[in-house]
Each structure stands twice: as structure tokens, then as C-alpha cells.
Structure 1
Amino acid sequence: MSIDHAPAPTRPSTLPASLTPALLTRLARQVTAAPGAATVTTTAPYTGEPLAELPSSSAEDVEAAFARARAAQIHWAATPIAERKRIFLRFHDLVLERQEQGLDLMQAENGKTRRDAFLEITDIAINARHYARSAERLLAPKRRRGALPVLTHTTELHHPKGVVTVISPWNYPLSMAAGDAIPALLAGNAVVQKPDTQTALTALWALDLMKEAGLPADVWQMVIGRAGTIGDPLMANADYLMFTGSTASGRKLASAAGERLIGASMELGGKNPMIVLPDADIDRAVEGAVMASFSSAGQLCVSIERMYVADEIYDRFVPAFVERTTALRLGAAYDFSADMGSLTTPSQLQTISAHVDDAVAKGVTVLAGGKRRPDLGPLFYEPTLLADVTPEMTLFDHETFGPVVSIYRFTDVEDAIRRANESAYGLNASVWTRDGALGRAVAARIHTGTVNVNDAYAAAWGSIDAPMGGMGDSGVGRRHGAEGLLKYTEAQTVAHQRLQGFQPPKGISHERWAGILTGALKVLKTVGAR
């Protein structure tokens, strides 16, 4: 079934005025690379035309970046937290003030709509503000209960890890790049980061603004290159790893981190389910389904790819969802007019096409979409709804990472929960119901790191004070919340024993001392001591 979309915005032939050659050159100079380094040319997804020429970092460049980062980190860790806070609050202001430039960059190199790009601007502003105002509390020395009441003075301290390697993806080039660097930096670490080359300009823009806000030189550095060239030194020199990407790559990096006995946090793949319960508000659930499935053309780690709809409302929900999907306005426009933009890379277009073509060949029912749209741009693909998906189809349990959703009926809540949990992945889920208590109860039984009730993904993601991450093949560790900053630190316990220790005082036998301690322990239990 083809989609007769509303007329799309005219394909842009030039970049927005804000993306001047001078800006692109200045951003490219932020890459840590030796003079005369080889370059790589990125292309604009909207048009397929060359976008920017960026220097490629060598393994030696990465080694040099870590050496400078280690020297800078010593001074940065000694910088009072109040001063670090001022820098990041200034960065917050700059992101909002220069957002037009950031929006243009994200669209130019990622191909997403301006609406989706704006969510990244707000995300980073919230992230910077939250951690700037929380770091002092999270990092402050904390008194802990000592081994012996009064006699043991125990304190928990948090020291920065040192230099953190951050490897960030192309799909959310600002949120994933700056969002993971912010807490690492505020915790007193230096960061050496490898953003995906395709969307490196956005990461470099964030670095440029951070330097303008007052971040000292060399505390945050960017390197660009293929994993085969710079992957080894990025791991060999790291004191901690933050990675966002595929599960296959995550397994390899986790193994490398394990060999070096360093910590790692990873957000990996997903095959995220949405459950629409019988009492759901259908209109609201349909709007939520559109956002859940087609934001950033489905190239979102927490987007929905599996949708389970109650038998009682299936025949009303699905036609409404199809109608709303076919009305989406696709296009390449540097304004807020388009509902869905382009895919980002040819390889992603190839994967999506292969998944849908495989399903069609095996008897899937295409309710909407299902084909490329070269009339709009080289990497456009229609938002696609599929029914009658069966286990032998590749997209049944493999992540597609595009605007493709499989829709299934379910008979009762137990059936829905069971099927939602039939996946090796466990990143995000969505539940729709008019009964909030029921929705939360169902959510608690879904094996994913985040679950949204009556929302697609933004409610949990935007709750920066709460942890976000995956279960199973969707990753280890958490970003956001206290763990999102404290994972970049080493916890240290300092216990000061005063007056009397665990050995018997002079003149008291070990046997008598054991009896005294036994009595003391019984008293402590009786009075409710922990």
C-alpha cells in the first residue's frame, strides 16, 4: 500500500545561512589531529551532497590527546565545584541562545526534522542545568555509619576516574555527545570523545560552546576516525568507557574493558514494545504511537518497533493509526513544517529496506508505507506499519532502527506482558490506559530499563533525576540520575577509629572482650540500630 502524502517541502539546494564556511572550518579545527592530517568528507542526508571536510585523527593523535587530557585533568579536578557549576550554567545559556545554529547543524548532518532537533536542544539544556546544580551535593563527602557507634568516624568520598572515553552515535548527535560528557566533566574528569564522523559537527559545536563558556583547554577533546584506526588507543588509555551503539559493538568493547579492569556503561540496541490496553484513550494513544514510532524517522534507541493492541479496540485503533501515519508530512526543510525527515546513512536505508522486503516476501500485510521516497531525497523512507508479522521474518526480533512498526493483537494483560518480554532486549517500553494504577502495575512487570505510561519515551528520558538504561542485550549501567554522575567516580571510604578499636583494652582478656562485644551487639539490635 503506498502513501499519498501531502506535498513535501522543496528539497533544499543550499545550507542554511548560519552554516557559513567560516563556522564549519572553525568547528573542524576543534578535532584533535596533527597538521596535514588526512580528511574525510561527510554528506548531507537531505541531498546527498558534500557537507564538510573533517580531519581524521591517527592513533598517535589519540595518544597525544590522552596525554594532554591527563595533565589538564589534574588542574580541572582541583577546580572548585562552584566554578565548574558556573561554566556549565553558562554553557546552558549558550545552547539556548545559539539554538538556531545548532538546529541547522543537526538537520544538515543527521537529516531529522527541526522538531526532533529542538528536543535535543532542550535535552542538553536540562541536562546541563540538572548536573550543574546537583554535582556539589552528589560529590560532597558523606558521613556513613561506623563499625562501632561513636568510636568509628566513617566518610564516603568520590574521586574522579581520570580520563573518560566517550563513544557517541550519529542518531542523536547533541544529546548523546554532550549529554554523556557533561556529568563526566562535572565530576572532575577529562573526556576524550569519538563522535560518529557523520554527525561530528554537532558534537564539535557543543565543544566550541563549552570552551566559550570557560572550560579549560584539553579537558574535553574530540577525535575522529574509524574504530580500526583509533579504537585501540581509545580503550588502552581510558579510565572509564561510556558507549552508545549496537549490541554487537558493545560486547566487543565490554570484553576489552574487562581485560583492562575498567568500568563501562553502555546503552545498546532495543526492540521496544508498546502495549495499548482495552481502556486506552484511542485518540491519545494514536498520537503517542506516531511519536513513539516515527520521531527522528525511527532512528531512536527508545523508539517503538513492536505494538500490542487489545482485541477489544484493535479494529478501531489500527485504522486510526494508519490514517494518522499516512497523513504525516515528509520532507527536507530547515523549519518546523515537516513531520518526519530523512534517514541518516545509506547503510541504514539498506537495512530498513532489507527488513521490510524480507517480511513482504514472507507474507506480511503492509498497512501503510513500505517503500523508499527518492522524490523527496536520497535517504527518505515512508513510515511503515506491518501486520501479520511472523517469527521467521527478520524484523520480528531484530532491531530495524527505522520508521517501521509491527502491530499485533493480544487477548488479555497477561498475554501482552508475556509477549512484550519475549525479547533479548530490554531498553524502553510504553503502556497506554486510562487507569494510572493499572498502567504502573503493568509497567513494573515489563523487563526494560524505562517504561512510560501514556507517553512514548519522553517522560522517562526527560526525568533526568531518574536513571535511564537497558536490561539484557540493551546494555549495562545507567545514565541520568545520581548514577549518571557517580559512575564517573571512584568511591572511597575513610574510617577513623577513635579511642577504642576492635582489640580488647589492656587488662581485658580476649574471651571477656568477646562477651562484652556480644552483649553490645544484642543491645544495638534491641534499640533498632542499623
Structure 2
Amino acid sequence: MAHEHADLHDPETDPLATYVLEPDDVRPLLGRVVAAAGHATAASIAPFTGAPIAAVPLTTPADLPDAARRARAAQRLWAARPVAERAAVLLRVHDLLLERQSDVLDLVQVETGKARGHAWEELGEVANAARYYALRARRLLAPRAVRGLWGPFSRGRVLRHPLGVVAVLTPWNYPLSLGLGDALPALVAGNAVLLRADPQTALTLLWCAELLEDAGLPADLLQVVVGGPDVGMALLEHVDHAGFTGSTRSGRVVAQRAGELGVPVTLELGGKNAMYVAEDVDVEAAAEGAVRACFGSAGQLCASVERIYVREEVRDEFVAALVRRTTALRLGSGLDYRADMGSLVGPAQLARVVEHVEDAVGHGATVLTGGEQRPDLGPYFYEPTVLTDVPPEARAHREETFGPVVAVYPVASDDEAVAAMNDSDLGLVAAVWTRSTARGTALAARVRAGAVSVNDTHQLLWGSVGAPLGGVGASGHGRRHGREGLWETTWTQSVVAQRGVHGSRGLGMRQVHELGSDVWPRALTRLLRLERALRLP
């Protein structure tokens, strides 16, 4: 049974004009798109109203060679700068983001339709990552000493070099986190970035390009190209690495083309993420966490929880708390912090959500709350929805909905919960709730997911910037965040030097081989046994 949700819509105080950007504000941003004059444009649409925002110029494949040439010229100079100078730019990005947050939060809301609190989560995550990489990059990129073959007579160093030009292929749902957030580690590593923006959220990323320039990033090091799959695929021909975030289906196409070109790729793809609620939880705390995990950005994020497995002992109590909290969520479109959840991004996303819910109900599922469109709030609003009794044949059981819909399933034991959570070819993130941190950590290690939070949501995972994030299986490969995220856009070079080669009294491979073909193997055998006895690595 659907319940009426609270809303903050007032046609008299929330007019259409609220979401119309002034041409004088938009024109300078649109001028930053890599596109020749006279190219086609795409009309981005305000999810809150369905009205057009701006006509965004589209990049074509023919525009890319010149952009890549300019990026490579800029990258050579940038890579020659000390890491400390590159890191200083990221610190200024951190400061400017916080100073100018009102402007970019407006843009993110207007383009994505998400609530302002969810938009701020993006901004906070990027500021956090900017500080992390600014303060850690010098150490993480420093040469590393390794032991040579001959101990004190040889030494090795592992160097890290930027790959060159990196493509960041950004989806519409998290332009700040998945656009600017992925560009920053590539830049501090010494690369140039060609940032592919979806036309729906291009203004946010063009604003980011302006911010980087104001922070001191040299010209041409980050360029924004705007377009769909054609431009994204064409970019692969001009770069040395690509990072793609999107659906599993699209990611496989990108991976195939990148493989043909010999371009390494990082892929973060879909997720049918699961949460486990053990029998010993504080039910209210777990229900509050579930609401945040399921309905952030109206469920339009790859880390959203869409499956909840609850121990039978607390099922009724947990479900009641979850339904009560979900029903109380305030839906709205204001450019302020009053709304708890905003809109879906457009008609295609709304249609997918409606189809998944109707299909589930048709197969016998029960709607505990939600399950209704809200055209009174805007054309693409859909109520946060809790389902039970979703059978395996329903699409919502296995397919990613990418909307504000979650299904709850009872389980009788930890083992049953882990088996159910792992019963998917997708493995992006997961969550475990239990009073015992030790138990939760042990259970997390058994879950097949790239990252697992214990007693929290994806916010904990995203905020822990030192911890790498990424998927397994059909959820992709490679990592963002942490040292791994920085190292994705570098290549390693090993340099091993031998001392004492020149002169008759040296000790090295030349002198060993001069012992004679029947002697040096025995000498090296003794050496290897000695090193084994001394436990030398």
C-alpha cells in the first residue's frame, strides 16, 4: 500500500524561473567546450520542471586531435614541475570549492534534480579528495628503493611517471565526484585530462574547468568535451589511459575498444548493492542508515543499496522503522536544504523505475510505501519505495534499478545472508549492520564486493579517501581513491644499478661469470641458500 509523502512544493513561491539560468551566466561556460563554431547543440533539461536549461555545444570526433595535441604540449611542461607545485593547485581547488559552493550547488541541483544535501555530499567528497592528494602525492609518487641482486653491491629504484593524456568519461549523475574528483589525482600525478561531460550536466563540469583555471592550473591541461558514446569512444584513440564510470553494458564496449587500441582503462560499472541487518542491531539506527543508503540522489548512484537482507528475529521491527522513516522523507525541488530527496533526472530514468516496480508487483511483490509518481511536484518525481516479496523472476530482483526502490528479504543466519548478498554477478559495494564491529568486519571480508561499510553507508566509503574504491566481476576493475587511484594514471620504471663493475677488484655479474661456466652456478646456488637462511627478501 502506498503512503502519501511529505513535499515542499509551492507553485507560488517555487516558480519555473527559479531553474532558468541567465544567458550571461551560461555563455562564458559554454565557450569552454571543445567544439568548433557552428556545431550541433543539445538541450539540457531541468529535471525539476522539464524546461530547457541551455543549448550545449557538442564536441565531434573531428575536434579531438587538436585538443589532444594541445593537451600533450601542456602536459610535458606540467610533468616537469615539482610535485609540490602541482599539489599546491589542488589545495587552492579545495579552498575555492568551499568558498564558491553556493554557485556550484545550484548548478548541480538544476542539472541533476537532486536534493541540495545530496549535492553537497558531492562537493564535500571532492574537497576531501583534493586535500588528501595535495598532501599525500609527493610521498606516494616518490621513488622507492628496492634491494638489488647483490645486496650492497647493487641497488634499485622504482620510479613513477605520468602516463600522459588521460580521458575521464563522466556520467550525468555525479558530475562533481566522478568528473572533477577523478581529474584531480590524474592532474597531480602530472597528466593532462580530457574530460568527457554528458550534455545533461556539462555546465557543472565547465564550471569546474573555470575553477581549476582560477586555482592556477595552466591552460589546456584540462579540457572539457561534451557528447555521448561517439565522442567517448573516439577519445580512446587520443589518450594514454581512460577512466569510465557507467553501466556494465557500456563499460564492456569501452573495454573492448580500449583493448583493441592498447589503452589501459579503469572501469566502475553497475551495482545491485546489498545490505545485511543482523539480529543484534539498534533497529532505529539501522533503518536510518538504510534510508540514507537507498534514497540518496533518488537512488541514482552506483553505490545505492537496492537489496536489504534482514534477520528474521528483527524483520518486523526493522521493516516498520524503515517504512516509517521512508514515508517521512520530504520531497521537493527547492535550491535549499529543506528537501530530503529530489527528482529523477529525466523520462528514461522514470520509465525504468516505473517498469521495475510494476513488474515486481505483477510477479507478486508488495509495495509497503511509495510506488507512485508525483507529477504534482515535477515531471520526473517518484516516491521512495520499499518492496517485499520480490520473487527471483522479477526484474528488480537482479537488475539495477538506479532509482529510489529497495527490496527487503528475510534471512535466518549470517551464512544465508552472505550467500544471498553474493548471489549476483555485480560486486561494487555492500553494507553490514551489527553491534559487534568484529563480527561485522569478519562478515564484510566474506562479501564479494569491492568495498564494504560496517554500520554506515556509502558515505563512509566515499569519505575514507585513503581507501580504494572499485568493483569486482561485472562491476568493473581498477580503483579510484587511495594510492591506487593515483597510481592508475602512472607507469612504473625500474632502474637497477650495479656498483664495482669497472676494475678487476669489482664484484658483480661480470666477475661471477668469469669464474667459469662450471663454477658460477655453484657459487650462486650457495648465495641463494645463504640468503634463504638469513631470510633476506
Identify the TM-score tier after normalising by the shorter chain.
over 0.9
Does the 8 Å CA contact 2:236/2:263 hold for their aligned counterparts?
no
1:502 to 500, 509, 514: 509
Q: Structure 1 residue 41: deviation in Å? A: 1.2
Within 2, Cα distance between the matches of 1:244 and 1:17? Answer: 27
Q: Does 1:324 align with 2:331?
A: no
The match for 1:9 is 9
Counting matched residue pairs gives 529
Secondary structure of 2:71's aligned partner: helix
The match for 2:358 is 357
Secondary structure of 2:482's aligned partner: coil
Once the two structures are superposed, the pairs formed by residues 27-106 of structure 1 within 5 Å of their partners are: 27-106=29-108
Q: Does 1:287 align with 2:288?
A: yes
1:120-151 residue CA offsets vs partner (Å, 9 max, x unmatched):
11111011111111111111111111122112
Within 1, Cα distance between the matches of 2:228 and 2:271? Answer: 24
Within 2, Cα distance between the matches of 1:441 and 1:184? Answer: 34
Does the 8 Å CA contact 2:296/2:304 hold for their aligned counterparts?
yes
Within 2, Cα distance between the matches of 1:116 and 1:18? Answer: 21
Secondary structure of 1:126's aligned partner: helix
1:523 to 509, 530, 536: 530
Q: Structure 1 residue 186: deviation in Å? A: 0.7
Secondary structure of 1:279's aligned partner: coil
Structure 2 spans left out of the alignment, 5+ residues: 501-506
Does the 8 Å CA contact 1:13/1:47 hold for their aligned counterparts?
no
Does the 8 Å CA contact 1:10/1:332 hold for their aligned counterparts?
no
Q: Structure 1 residue 502: deviation in Å? A: 2.4
Does the 8 Å CA contact 2:2/2:367 hold for their aligned counterparts?
no
% identical aligned pairs: 49
Q: Structure 1 residue 527: deviation in Å? A: 1.5
Within 2, Cα distance between the matches of 1:130 and 1:21? Answer: 36
1:513 to 520, 530, 533: 520
Q: Which moved more, 1:191-200 or 1:239-248?
A: 191-200
Within 2, Cα distance between the matches of 1:83 and 1:51? Answer: 38
The match for 2:424 is 423
Within 2, Cα distance between the matches of 1:240 and 1:45? Answer: 33
Q: Does 1:405 align with 2:420?
A: no
1:479-514 residue CA offsets vs partner (Å, 9 max, x unmatched):
011110111001000111222332444862222222
Q: Structure 1 residue 315: deviation in Å? A: 1.0
AA aligned to 1:5 is H
* Superposed CA RMSD: 1.4
Within 2, Cα distance between the matches of 1:259 and 1:232? Answer: 12
Secondary structure of 1:437's aligned partner: helix
Secondary structure of 1:100's aligned partner: helix
Does the 8 Å CA contact 1:170/1:199 hold for their aligned counterparts?
yes
Within 2, Cα distance between the matches of 1:406 and 1:505? Answer: 69
1:293-312 residue CA offsets vs partner (Å, 9 max, x unmatched):
00100001111000001000
With normalisation by structure 1, the TM-score equals 0.98
The match for 1:254 is 255
AA aligned to 1:462 is G
Q: Structure 1 residue 323: deviation in Å? A: 1.1
Q: Mark the CA change 1:129 to 1:290 in structure 2 (over 3 Å): closer, same or farther.
A: same
1:350-392 residue CA offsets vs partner (Å, 9 max, x unmatched):
1111111111111111111111110100000000111110011
AA aligned to 2:272 is K
Within 2, Cα distance between the matches of 1:484 and 1:405? Answer: 30
Structure 1 spans left out of the alignment, 5+ residues: none
Within 1, Cα distance between the matches of 2:2 and 2:491? Answer: 55
1:237-290 residue CA offsets vs partner (Å, 9 max, x unmatched):
121010000000000111111112221101000000000000011010010010
Secondary structure of 1:395's aligned partner: helix
Within 1, Cα distance between the matches of 2:18 and 2:95? Answer: 22
Within 1, Cα distance between the matches of 2:476 and 2:515? Answer: 55
Q: Structure 1 residue 18: deviation in Å? A: 11
Within 1, Cα distance between the matches of 2:69 and 2:512? Answer: 52
Q: Mark the CA change 1:242 to 1:15 in structure 2 (over 3 Å): closer, same or farther.
A: farther
Within 1, Cα distance between the matches of 2:48 and 2:468? Answer: 35
